[in-house]
With several copies, the nearest count.
Chain A
Amino acid sequence: MTGRRLVYMDHAATTPAAPEIVEAMLPYFTERFGNPSSIYGIARESKAAIDTAREQVAHAINASPEEIYITSGGTESDNWAIKGVAYAHRKRGKRIITSAIEHHAVLHTCQYLERQGFEVTYLPVDEFGRVSLSALADAITDETILVSIMAANNEIGTLEPIADCARICRERGVYFHTDAVQAIGSVPVDVRAQDVDLLSLSAHKFYGPKGIGALYIRKGVRLDNLLHGGSQEQRHRAGTENLAGIVGMGAAIERAVGRQEEYARRLTSLRKRLLSGIMERIEHVRLNGHPTERLPGNLNCSFEFIEGEGMLLLLDHAGVAASTGSACTSGSLEPSHVLLAIGLEHATAHGSLRLTLGESNTEADVDYVLEALPPIVERLRTMSPLYADYRRSCNVQ
Chain B
Amino acid sequence: MYSEKVMEHFMNPRNQGEIENPDGVGEVGNPKCGDIMKIFLKVKDDRIEDVQFQTFGCGAAVASSSMATELIKGKTLEEAWDLSNKAVAEALGGLPPVKMHCSVLAEEGIHKAINDYRVKQGLELWKEKPGASHAHADDACEI
Q: Is A155 an interface residue (CB 8 A)?
A: no
Asked whether A346 and B32 contact (CB < 8 A) given A310-B62, A332-B141, A385-B38, the answer is yes
- B14-38 interface (Cβ within 8 A of A): 16, 18, 27, 31-38
Closest-by-CB residue of A relative to B35 is A307
Rounded to whole angstroms, the CA-CA distance of A310 and B10 in the bound complex is 8
Shortest A187–chain B CB gap in Å is 32
Q: Is B56 an interface residue (CB 8 A)?
A: yes
Q: Is B55 an interface residue (CB 8 A)?
A: yes
Residues of B near A309 (CB, < 8 A) are 57-59
Q: Is B119 an interface residue (CB 8 A)?
A: no
Assess the A39–B1 pair: CB atoms within 8 A: yes
Main SS at interface, chain B:
mixed
Q: Is A293 an interface residue (CB 8 A)?
A: no
Assess the B143–A332 pair: CB atoms within 8 A: yes
Closest-by-CB residue of A relative to B30 is A346
Q: Is A158 an interface residue (CB 8 A)?
A: no
Contact of A346 among B7, B13, B27, B34 (CB under 8 A): B34
Assess the B11–A384 pair: CB atoms within 8 A: no
Rounded to whole angstroms, the CA-CA distance of A335 and B56 in the bound complex is 14
Rounded to whole angstroms, the CA-CA distance of A347 and B141 in the bound complex is 13
Assess the A386–B1 pair: CB atoms within 8 A: no
Q: Is A317 an interface residue (CB 8 A)?
A: yes
Residues of B near A387 (CB, < 8 A) are 56
Residues of B near A44 (CB, < 8 A) are 1
Residues of A near B27 (CB, < 8 A) are 385
Q: Is A135 an interface residue (CB 8 A)?
A: no
Assess the A386–B59 pair: CB atoms within 8 A: no
Assess the A333–B57 pair: CB atoms within 8 A: no
Residues of A near B10 (CB, < 8 A) are 310, 313
Contact of B55 among A313, A346, A350, A385 (CB under 8 A): A385
Q: Is B98 an interface residue (CB 8 A)?
A: yes
- A348-393 interface (Cβ within 8 A of B): 350, 382-388
Rounded to whole angstroms, the CA-CA distance of A384 and B62 in the bound complex is 10
Closest-by-CB residue of A relative to B29 is A385
Contact of A385 among B33, B54, B143 (CB under 8 A): B54
Rounded to whole angstroms, the CA-CA distance of A14 and B142 in the bound complex is 29
Residues of B near A326 (CB, < 8 A) are 34, 58
Assess the A306–B1 pair: CB atoms within 8 A: no
- Interface-centre pick from A307, A332, A388 (highest chain B CB count, 10 A): A307
Residues of A near B33 (CB, < 8 A) are 333-334, 346
Assess the A346–B31 pair: CB atoms within 8 A: yes
Residues of A near B32 (CB, < 8 A) are 334, 346-347
Binding site for A on B (CB under 8 A): 1, 7, 10-11, 13, 16, 18, 27, 31-38, 54-59, 61-62, 98, 101, 136, 141-143
Binding site for B on A (CB under 8 A): 39, 44, 47, 305-307, 309-310, 313-314, 317, 326-329, 331-335, 345-347, 350, 382-388
Residue pairs across A and B with Cβ atoms less than 8 A apart, 8 shown, are A313-B59, A314-B11, A326-B58, A331-B143, A333-B34, A333-B141, A347-B34, A386-B31
Nearest 9 CB-CB pairings of A with B: A347-B31, A333-B141, A309-B58, A385-B54, A350-B34, A385-B38, A346-B32, A384-B56, A333-B33
A-B contacts besides A310-B59, A383-B55, 14 pairs, CB < 8 Å: A307-B58, A310-B58, A313-B59, A327-B141, A328-B58, A329-B98, A332-B141, A332-B143, A333-B34, A346-B34, A383-B13, A383-B54, A386-B31, A386-B56
